[in-house]
């Protein structure tokens, strides 16, 4: 089976609420994202020679990620102090309210779900399968979200 991977890099800021560790402070990460796709069906290579054009991934997913998250502060919707202080002064992305502080925190685990949902729609439009998304917080720490539905 063929799988193709496109990597993009983003610089983001965040802080975590209800958390005792360095990420409770406002700080930044240079994160990397890997979008991994495969053909829908097992079999020979696609007729045009591509699973999906890397340029198309860069244009559709990369540009969206850049515009939405690059050099933005990623904020928990329960973080009213930061929202009040920052949203009219700087690029921000407010995480979806998932019903609790923990589920709405801008952790790599919660953020990878955002990228996954967007990549799933891209895959459907392009008649390919989303294999997985990998989100690197650093060179030595990352989160994978694997598509377990065939």
**Position of minimal CB gap to Zn ion:** 23
Cβ-contact 25, 85 below 8 angstroms: no
Where does residue 99 fall: left (phi above 0), alpha (psi -120 to 50 degrees), or beta otherwise?
left
Q: For residues 20-59, which are near Zn ion according to CB under 5 A?
A: 23
User: Of 17-25, 45-53, 57-65, 127-135, which segment contacts Zn ion by CB under 5 A?
Assistant: 17-25
CA atoms within 13 A on the CB side of 6: 20
| In the complex, minimum distance from the CB of residue 105 to Zn ion, in angstroms, rounded to a whole number | 10
Per rule CB under 5 A, count of chain residues that contact Zn ion: 1
Least separation in angstroms between CB 69 and Zn ion = 14
Radius of gyration of the chain (CA): 17
Q: How many other C-beta atoms are found inside a 10 Å radius of the C-beta of residue 134? A: 18
Nearer CB in complex with Zn ion: 23/73? 23
From the CB of 107, what's the least distance to Zn ion, in Å? 8
Minimum Å distance from CB 95 to Zn ion? 14
């Amino acid at each position: 089976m063929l799988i193709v991977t496109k990597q993009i890099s983003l610089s983001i800021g965040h802080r975590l609420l209800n958390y005792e560790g360095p990420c409770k402070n406002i700080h930044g990460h240079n994160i990397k994202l890997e979008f991994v796709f495969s053909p829908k069906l097992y079999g020979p290579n696609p007729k045009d020679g591509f699973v999906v054009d890397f340029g198309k991934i860069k244009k559709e997913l990369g540009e969206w990620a850049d515009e939405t998250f690059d050099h933005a502060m990623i904020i928990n919707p329960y973080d009213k102090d930061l929202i009040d202080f920052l949203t009219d002064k700087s690029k921000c992305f407010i995480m979806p309210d998932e019903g609790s502080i923990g589920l709405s925190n801008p952790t790599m685990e919660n953020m990878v779900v955002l990228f996954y949902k967007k990549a799933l729609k891209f895959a459907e439009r392009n008649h390919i399968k989303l294999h997985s998304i990998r989100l690197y917080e650093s060179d030595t720490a990352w989160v994978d979200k694997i598509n377990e539905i065939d």
